[in-house]
A and B are shown apart, each in its own frame.
Chain A
Amino acid sequence: MSEDLHIKMRDVRKAFGAKHVLNGINLDVPRGQSVVIIGGSGSGKSVMLKCILGILRADSGSIQVNGREVIGQSTSDQSEMLQHFGMLFQGAALFDSLTVWENVSFGLIQGKNMPRGEAKDIAMAKLAQVGLGSEVGELSPAELSGGMQKRVGLARAIAADPDVIFFDEPTTGLDPIMADVINDLIVKCVKDLGATAVSITHDMASARKIADKIAMIYKGEIIWEGDAIEVDASGNAHVDQFIHGRADGPIEMDVLKP
């Protein structure tokens, strides 16, 4: 096998009590490519990313990053690995005791011991890339709208120029124009910096734009994966239903039909 895999997941399982969230995930993320994960709400997408980061501990299976096993690694190995990761959390997860620019430069100051002045310049540049002016940098996260918080989270995730970037719903809560700016930014991170990206999104327009590969997760398993251009001709009823957003089809939502 010639493909250079950055992340390789095999039969990864994770349960919370009796609730089985991941039921044997197999996923390959090639180096320098952008993989988009699609799937219904509550199907375990965020949990999957957290298992790769080691924030949640998978129950069984194997997750390899750069060929090194993640499950069960020591805390120091984990923090060493995370130096090369950037993560945008679904809820932004900004530190509310710090200002916006301190949030963005956090990984540079704390993780890489960069002087504050230099880190602030980088933070302001990253904020500008996500469409936020320097006046926003001095505010506290609580003073921002939801979409602005999301963009600050995005700026923080890419601030330290990581090798792998995880985006948990990067465009949710943004207007269509800003969403497209963010899509371009993600593409740029992958193309220019050579980063590997894994994004979760419900927004098919965004998925088509940023993805090299698309994988669909359903009931804790990857039921389809392929190149982004193949998604319309996947031949998979679940995928078809999802990308066209139809209520009737093989995916049954747990809602009471009147």
Chain B
Amino acid sequence: MNFIAALGRFVLEICAEIGRLCVFIKDSVWHCFAPPVYPRLIFDQMVRIGYNSLPVVGLTAFFTGGVLALQIYIGGTRFNAESLVSSIVALGITRELGPVLAGLMVAGRVSAAIAAELGTMRVTEQIDALATLSTNPFKYLVAPRVIAAVLCLPLLVVVADTIGIMGGYIVGTKSLGFNSTVYIKNTVDFLEFDDIFSGLVKSAVFGFIIAVMGCYHGYNSRGGAQGVGRATTNAVVSASILILSANYVLTSLLFSS
């Protein structure tokens, strides 16, 4: 009986958590659209979420593009299909690796930072203080972060796509001996607008996940420094898992349409 009771408690706990999360998401989205908006706060967050993530995202994309070129070359030689390297690098980066890796890197950086910041504000009563100063915490803290992340992630992915393809190009021409003009021509001819666009759509969703997970865990953290630490870990883990599962769902949706 004890085991069943424990199982029941666990299931109820999960349902309650999902319910809380849904209400939180509803409130966040509502406050992103309902006035007043705080352009200055959104701008600040865009700098912190977008601009400051550029080095991490750029480096990740560069090495991924490079390693992709190497691996596809190795695979390609087995079928005498080395000439496909440039096209497959471009396709892989724009459709999949650019958005997903940028999303995961930013999740590590930004979800953690948001959760730690809001969590500290929660345990030091700063969020309560906001309410007593006639300011809605959703409006002031959550909405700017969500808006900034949804706007910034696609921009970051454009950068990641460019640098990733460039990484493939550098490895392809410098160490695999491809002709530079041919490599570029193959890339440009082969890529379609849809490839890039689908990646951008996905990344906007990833941005939403990153900001909401950071805010949710930070906003609901309790129990001092340890609680903030737990919130930070939970934010990164849940954002990463949600990004990967949303990626599958979105890809299959975009694939079928």
Do the two chains belong together in a single complex?
yes
Chain A contacts to B: CB under 8 angstroms? 50, 53-55, 75, 78-79, 82-83, 85-87, 89, 91, 93-96, 106-107, 110-112, 156, 160
Closest to B123 in A: A91
Residues of B within 8 A of A110 (CB): 133-135, 140
Query: Residues of B at under 8 Å CB distance from A?
Result: 121, 124-126, 128-129, 131-136, 140
Please determine whether A94 and B132 come into contact, CB atoms closer than 8 angstroms: no
| Residues A82 and B131 in contact, CB atoms below 8 Å apart | yes
**Is B131's CB under 8 angstroms from A93's CB?**
no
Contact flag A111-B135 (CB < 8 Å), given A87-B129, A89-B129, A93-B129: yes
A250 to B63, CA, bound (A): 72
For B125, B126, B129, B132, the residue with the greatest tally of chain A CB atoms inside 10 Å of its CB is B132
Contact of A107 among B121, B125, B134, B140 (CB under 8 A): B134
Contact B131 A95 (CB under 8 A): no
> Which 9 pairs from chain A and chain B are nearest by CB?
A111-B134, A107-B133, A93-B125, A93-B129, A87-B132, A110-B135, A55-B128, A83-B134, A89-B125
Give the distance in Å from the alpha carbon of A50 to the alpha carbon of B140 in the complex.
21
CA distance A89 to B121 in the complex (A): 13
In whole Å, how far is B85's beta carbon from the nearest beta carbon of chain A? 48
Please give, as numbers and ranges, the residues of chain B lying within 8 Å of A96 by CB-CB distance.
126
Enumerate chain B residues within 8 angstroms of A55, measured Cβ to Cβ: 128, 131-132
* A106 to B, closest residue via Cβ: B133
Of all chain B residues, the one with the shortest Cβ separation from A111 is B134
CB distance from B136 to the nearest CB of A (A): 7
How many angstroms between the C-alpha atoms of A75 and B135 in the bound complex?
Answer: 11
Residues of B within 8 A of A91 (CB): 124-125
State whether A93 touches B135 (Cβ < 8 A): no
Question: Which B residues are in CB contact (< 8 Å) with A111?
Answer: 133-135
Contact for B126 among A53, A94, A112, CB less than 8 A? A94
Given contacts A93-B125, A110-B133, 7 further A-B contacts (CB under 8 A): A82-B131, A82-B134, A85-B132, A89-B125, A93-B128, A94-B126, A107-B133
